[in-house]
Structure 1
Amino acid sequence: MSQRRKFIKQSLMGSALFLPGVASACAQTAEKSPNSGEKPLILSTWNHGIPANADAWAKLKEGGSILDAVEAGVRNTELDMDNLTVGLQGLPDREGITTLDASIMTGDGSCGSVAFVRQIKHPISLARAVMEKTPHVMLAGEGARQFAIAQGFPLEKEELSPKAKVAYEEWKKTSQYKPIINIENHDTIGMIGIDAGGKLAGSCTTSGLAYKMHGRVGDSPIIGAGLYVDDEVGAATATGLGETIIRVCGSFLIVELMRQGRTPQEACEEAVRRLVAKNKEGDGIQAGFLAINKYGEVGAYAIRPGFNYARATESGNVLIDAASYYSS
């Protein structure tokens, strides 16, 4: 079911597309298969992955760890006022409240996450604090907010961003809840990376589905669903309708398939096949997976066309269309 991938060179303020201090080598990048093994490597979901990758790569270049890199990368997206699916500027739930989910993990099994958290500008950094400063993996809701305050995270004013407010007021005219595939490049940024020495880490952050029920939590903060990392094998992250991804423990499934000898591409394709078989929502669902193994080989696959991902290496930072289970 694999199809030939289309490479899309996307300019980000001209030469800013290519990473700081790196020669472009355009022709070489265009000819290279996205499955080729290369380290260091940063992958992230959707077109907002281009600037996120650039920040992650800059962190690596200045001597940061791969964990520092994947945190820094998605912090970029958490601040992007044009992105209505990540960060406090994201679209709210049915009650008009924006709630955030995030997770972070390293290849030694260390992990942390937050779910249903309010008023925190960088939930990915709060997830890292859970990982490093508590005996727990996940904190949720008011408990997560109390922990954030104790750790010195400022509480932001609870109000909708201008774009989210306009969209919410329009939605209230019908109050119809129906996920729309690929809208706003969907509802997550997931990032996974490997450094030159083979250490892996990943991050995932989202404001979740627009107009969800108050209290709903998707796959992004659930270790094994939206994100999973293992230095002995590889890493995977997910995007799309979280309920479908949770039902197959998508990211953990992909890593375990790679452990059994599948390539990252084969593992992503098998995960999508199982997801389709387990979910009966029909035309209304989209989900995509992104994976790397410990050799720096890449896999990406989605239910339907429209999922793309950003791939950053020494050669450059490019946007690539993923293949999909359905052709339309």
Structure 2
Amino acid sequence: MANRRSFIKKSLLGTAILAPTISQLSCDAKQSSNVKEGFKPLVLSTWAHGMPANDKAWEVLESTGNVLDAVEQGVKVTELDLSNLSVGLQGLPDREGIATLDASIMLGDGSCGSVGFVRQVKHPISLARKVMENTPHVMLAGEGARQFAISEGFELEDEVLSPRADELFQEWKKTSMYKPIINIENHDTIGMIALGADGKMAGSCTTSGLAYKMHGRIGDSPIIGAGLFVDDEVGAATATGLGESIIRICGSFLIVELMRQGRSPQEACQEAVRRLISKNKNIDDIQAGFIAFNKEGEFGAYAVRAGFNYARHHKGSQELIDATYKL
């Protein structure tokens, strides 16, 4: 009996350590949307460019019910958006003047694929899907990813910057000063997660990465568990913002695991942001945001600071929502 009492005491202490304090919950409750109503089907994606991406994803989901096709086709819209400087080959380049892309895709059964530091591929999200479906691997990077694209029949694009990206790159070269600036298009990944009427889930994430990054840099977007994580038993999450800060806490995996432990999507996103702030220096220069849903279709979103928004689409409603934030 004494051993049992000791075990219960230790268990309660462990729970207290893991749980946020009352003061933390009270503070965050002021900003929490605490969404309780669930929706199936449901599509969420990051930033305003998620609105047209969601339109396409919803069209696919309604016509076929296939969540994997929906998240791939949805973000392909953004990969082709010439006005977008943070996704696709038209995005801002690295400090060598080369556009390099990262992407990942995942199903709720654990199947996943990704590419990092890939050049000349118009749709890296489709290449990530090929890695998932046609190789024994999860991630291919650099020249290996490019050669795989060729072997899979992808047409390589000319390695020329888009006019706007080139204009901004030439301006940047006058000082070559590297300093991320929050809430501008230098790290505005599109991450998309979808829940089908049958409960199946999928997610996608694609980006041209941080503007003027070191050549060879890979962000969180192609890293399963950092930029994207999906589990049919629990829910899904995806991230946007300064990739290094998200990688340090395995942000998307963390959120899904917190939901597995009983947190709501909103609470899980809030805890991930708290963890991110505590694990990163120079937080004044960092913006990051998360979106998530659970298997009931309840959803949430949270960011380090103001300025992050996300697109939500479910039957009868389509909306761009300003996420709540910590700082």
TM-score normalised to structure 1 length:
0.90
The amino acid across from 2:90 in the alignment is Q
Q: Where in structure 2 are there 5+ consecutive unaligned residues?
A: 1-27
How has the CA–CA distance of structure 1 residues 70 and 3 changed in structure 2, closer, same or farther, with 3 Å as cutoff? Answer: farther
Q: Is the 8 A contact 2:96 2:215 kept in 1?
A: yes
- The aligned counterpart of 1:272 is 273
Looking at structure 2, the residues matched to 310 and 5 of structure 1 have their Cα atoms a distance apart, in angstroms, of 17
- The aligned counterpart of 2:70 is 69
- The aligned counterpart of 1:193 is 194
The amino acid across from 2:51 in the alignment is I
- The aligned counterpart of 2:25 is none
- The aligned counterpart of 2:45 is 44
- The aligned counterpart of 2:162 is 161
- The aligned counterpart of 1:233 is 234
How has the CA–CA distance of structure 1 residues 5 and 50 changed in structure 2, closer, same or farther, with 3 Å as cutoff? Answer: farther
- The aligned counterpart of 1:81 is 82
- The aligned counterpart of 1:17 is none
Q: Where in structure 1 are there 5+ consecutive unaligned residues?
A: 7-32
Q: Does 1:100 align with 2:98?
A: no
SS at match of 1:73: helix
Looking at structure 2, the residues matched to 172 and 5 of structure 1 have their Cα atoms a distance apart, in angstroms, of 41
CA RMSD for the aligned pairs? 1.2
Q: Select the structure with the greater relative contact order (CA < 8 A; seq sep ≥ 6).
A: 1
Looking at structure 1, the residues matched to 39 and 220 of structure 2 have their Cα atoms a distance apart, in angstroms, of 28
Superposed displacement of residue 34, structure 1: 5.0
- The aligned counterpart of 2:55 is 54
Superposed displacement of residue 36, structure 1: 2.1
User: Which structure has the larger Rg?
Assistant: 2
Looking at structure 2, the residues matched to 250 and 266 of structure 1 have their Cα atoms a distance apart, in angstroms, of 13
* Count of matched residue positions in the alignment of Structure 1 and Structure 2: 300
Superposed displacement of residue 324, structure 1: 0.3
SS at match of 2:312: strand
SS at match of 1:61: helix
Looking at structure 2, the residues matched to 181 and 225 of structure 1 have their Cα atoms a distance apart, in angstroms, of 19
Q: Is the 8 A contact 1:47 1:185 kept in 2?
A: no
Matches within 5 A, 1:91-240: 91-184=92-185, 186-240=187-241
How far does the alpha carbon of each residue in 1:77-114 deviate from its partner, in whole angstroms, 9 at most, with x for none? 00000000000000000000000000000000000000
How has the CA–CA distance of structure 1 residues 34 and 78 changed in structure 2, closer, same or farther, with 3 Å as cutoff? Answer: farther
The amino acid across from 1:62 in the alignment is S
Q: Is the 8 A contact 1:2 1:323 kept in 2?
A: no
SS at match of 2:64: coil
Looking at structure 2, the residues matched to 264 and 119 of structure 1 have their Cα atoms a distance apart, in angstroms, of 36
Superposed displacement of residue 298, structure 1: 0.3
SS at match of 1:44: strand
Q: Is the 8 A contact 1:191 1:203 kept in 2?
A: yes
Q: Is the 8 A contact 1:41 1:296 kept in 2?
A: yes
Superposed displacement of residue 179, structure 1: 0.5
SS at match of 1:299: strand
Q: Is the 8 A contact 1:5 1:320 kept in 2?
A: no
Looking at structure 1, the residues matched to 301 and 76 of structure 2 have their Cα atoms a distance apart, in angstroms, of 23
How far does the alpha carbon of each residue in 1:146-183 deviate from its partner, in whole angstroms, 9 at most, with x for none? 00000000000000001000000000011010011010
Looking at structure 1, the residues matched to 57 and 153 of structure 2 have their Cα atoms a distance apart, in angstroms, of 24
Looking at structure 1, the residues matched to 323 and 186 of structure 2 have their Cα atoms a distance apart, in angstroms, of 13
How has the CA–CA distance of structure 1 residues 105 and 74 changed in structure 2, closer, same or farther, with 3 Å as cutoff? Answer: same
Q: Does 1:314 align with 2:304?
A: no
Q: Is the 8 A contact 2:76 2:123 kept in 1?
A: yes
Q: Is the 8 A contact 1:115 1:217 kept in 2?
A: yes
Superposed displacement of residue 129, structure 1: 0.3
The amino acid across from 2:155 in the alignment is P
Q: Is the 8 A contact 1:114 1:139 kept in 2?
A: yes
Superposed displacement of residue 187, structure 1: 2.4
How has the CA–CA distance of structure 1 residues 4 and 270 changed in structure 2, closer, same or farther, with 3 Å as cutoff? Answer: closer
The amino acid across from 1:307 in the alignment is F
Looking at structure 2, the residues matched to 282 and 249 of structure 1 have their Cα atoms a distance apart, in angstroms, of 17
SS at match of 1:62: helix
More helix by share: 2
Percent identity between the aligned chains?
73
TM-score normalised to structure 2 length:
0.90
Looking at structure 2, the residues matched to 194 and 318 of structure 1 have their Cα atoms a distance apart, in angstroms, of 17
Looking at structure 1, the residues matched to 323 and 169 of structure 2 have their Cα atoms a distance apart, in angstroms, of 31
Structure 1 stretches of 4+ with a deviation exceeding 3 A read: 2-6
Looking at structure 2, the residues matched to 5 and 174 of structure 1 have their Cα atoms a distance apart, in angstroms, of 41
Looking at structure 1, the residues matched to 211 and 231 of structure 2 have their Cα atoms a distance apart, in angstroms, of 31
The amino acid across from 1:184 in the alignment is E
SS at match of 2:71: helix
